[in-house]
Structure 1
Amino acid sequence: MADAPSQLSSREELMLLYQITVSDLTYFKSQQWSLTNYAFLLLAGLIGVDQLIGPSITIFERSLLVFLAFSIAAAGITVLSKLQRSIEVRQARLGAARNSLSSAFIAAWSAEVKGREYLHSIWFLRAAIVAGAAIVCWVVLR
Structure 2
Amino acid sequence: MTDFRLPASDTTPSTDRKTEARRQPRLKIPAMYSLVRVRPAGADRYCWTGHIYDVSLSGMRFELDQPLEPGTDIEVRGILPGQEHVTFQATGKIVRFHDEEPELGPTRMGMVFEQFHSEVDQDRLLGYLGNHGLKIAA
TM-score (ref. length: structure 2): 0.23
More helix by share: 1
TM-score by length of 1: 0.23
Kindly indicate whether structure 1 or structure 2 has the higher relative contact order, using CA contacts under 8 Å at least 6 residues apart. 1
Quick check: which has more Rg, 1 or 2?
Answer: 1
